[in-house]
Structure 1
Amino acid sequence: MGLQIHLVYDLQGWCCVSIITFVWLYNTLYVPKLILFPHYEEQHIPAAVIVLYYMVSLCCITSLVRASFADPGQLPQDPDIPYSAESGASWAEVKLECRAGQEERQLWEICNKCNKMRPKRSHHCSRCGHCVRKMDHHCPWINNCVGEDNHWLFLQLCFYTELLSFLTLLFNFCQYYYLEPLTKVKEELFVFRHELAMLRISTLMGIVMFGGMFGLFYGQLSNVIADMTTIERMSSNLDEMLKSSKPWQQTFSEVFGTRWKILWFIPFRQRQQLRVSYHHANHV
């Protein structure tokens, strides 16, 4: 599945994305400059700590950019809907294909807003103006819908935002309560003259991001385990949706497009559709 760019022209959404990008850029620049690099130069911390922080930061911004610009699963103008068997087929093949086509057509419905056929579990986004397969919700913080094709990126964004915020709070705490005082401080630089104020701003951002993302991430994980979307959870068919018999490994594998659990954490790959039985595979 090739990468498709999906742009949503929404001023409010772009403002939200800009705020998230500013928070990421601020902490990525000043936490290493004020804490990590000075303490590394005085051999208070190993280089692996700096590499870890930058790797988490890279995964966070990558998942943000890709979730914002990836196609969430927008339906084409003329979706391929099964109708009948091909000409030239035998009577047995025609009967078998017609039966399969009838079963597959039962998985489609008509959207009452755009009057187009769509697979069930799709939803029409009024902000984007089209239907999205297995739409979870429209998120202004990525200025995009969260649907079948970018839900895995949104989950990665939640995870790495939580992890980056936790590391930011941890390093800010260690700067004053755990790490040894610095002996070489370039007080002529602006950032070091106002170190306390800048780290307080970083701490405030970390608390807001960690606390705000915690509830969202927990809700997303609960939905994936239950094999349902946020829209379905809010609908009147909640009791039916909670009767999912799929194991959690299969639901996560379908969202991330792979059974290999290590790939669930990598935002630098392409997602593939996964529609085969899971058989409780225990891949690493």
Structure 2
Amino acid sequence: MKLRLHFVVDPLGWLCVSMVFGIWLYNSVFVPTLVLLPHYNEGHISWALVVCYYLASALCILALLRASTADPGRLPPDPHIPFSERADWELCNKCNLMRPKRSHHCSRCGHCVRRMDHHCPWINNCVGEDNHWLFLQLCFYTQVLSLFTLVMDFCQYYYFQPLTALDQDAFTTQHELALLRVSALMGLVMFGGMGSLFYTQMAGIISDTTTIEKMSRTLDEILETA
């Protein structure tokens, strides 16, 4: 499967990706600083727990980079159409190029994408035939990291032993409660959002239906009943 680089010039998409990156960076800095590393240094938790958190964080940001820069299945300007498949191709009325059926034209990207599921502003890229599996990886790893973050925030107050070596003048120590509350809120929102998105994407794969096709069918049903 080809993984060609693909960049979309969209300031709104860049803003959304920056917000996702900021949430990842926040939790990847403050959770280890406030919870994991201090408790590891005092022997309260195993080194394996620290390694697992950083591994989940690395997999999450790697999946974000891959999903946002991978070619979703962009059709070339002059595609080669096998003679036996010509009946399965159609003309796009927006870019006036031939495309296989179940392809869709993305107005944000400005081109047609094979088996396009939807355009996701949070990765500033379309989700299509060639990067759908990368998008699913991103959803899965984000759920893992978010759940990990929620568990660490919970354990900090209700399970872990109190820390003895604390620098009360440090910024992170003085604002620990506020920082971990923000971290827990981010983790809860990301886990719930990505969990529902992952479920709907898997349901679409099982039923062999894209998000665009689902929306089109729903709209047709509404128009029929109106």
TM range (shorter): over 0.9
Structure 1 letter corresponding to 2:113? V
Conserved? CA contact 2:106–2:119, under 8 Å: yes
**Mapped partners of 1:130, 1:2: distance in 2:** 18
**Mapped partners of 1:147, 1:3: distance in 2:** 12
Of 78, 85, 88 in structure 2, the residue corresponding to residue 107 of structure 1 is 88
Greater relative contact order, per chain length (Cα 8 Å cut-off, separation 6+): 2
State whether structure 2 residue 131 is matched by structure 1 residue 117.
Answer: no
Counterpart in the other structure of 2:66: 66
Shift of 1:2: 5.0
Structure 1 letter corresponding to 2:161? E
**Mapped partners of 2:47, 2:122: distance in 1:** 33
Counterpart in the other structure of 1:91: none
Q: 1:82 to 1:2 in 2, by over 3 A?
A: closer
Structure 2 letter corresponding to 1:113? K
**Mapped partners of 2:187, 2:218: distance in 1:** 37
Bigger shift: 180-189 or 22-31?
180-189
Aligned-pair Cα RMSD in Å = 1.6
TM-score scaled to structure 2, two decimals? 0.93
Higher helix share: 2
**Mapped partners of 2:218, 2:176: distance in 1:** 53
Structure 2 letter corresponding to 1:56? A
Bigger shift: 220-229 or 71-80?
220-229
> Could you report, residue by residue, the CA deviation over 1:30-85 in whole angstroms, capped at 9, with x for unpaired residues?
101110011111111111111111111111101101111111100001000123xx
Shift of 1:235: 2.1
Shift of 1:237: 9.0
Alignment of 1:263-282 (within 5 A): none
Q: What is the aligned length?
A: 220
Q: Which has the larger radius of gyration?
A: 1
**Mapped partners of 2:135, 2:2: distance in 1:** 18
TM-score scaled to structure 1, two decimals? 0.75
Identity across the alignment (%): 64
Structure 1 letter corresponding to 2:180? L
State whether structure 2 residue 159 is matched by structure 1 residue 175.
Answer: no
Counterpart in the other structure of 2:199: 218
Counterpart in the other structure of 1:32: 32
Alignment of 1:1-284 (within 5 A): 1-83=1-83, 101=84, 104-236=85-217
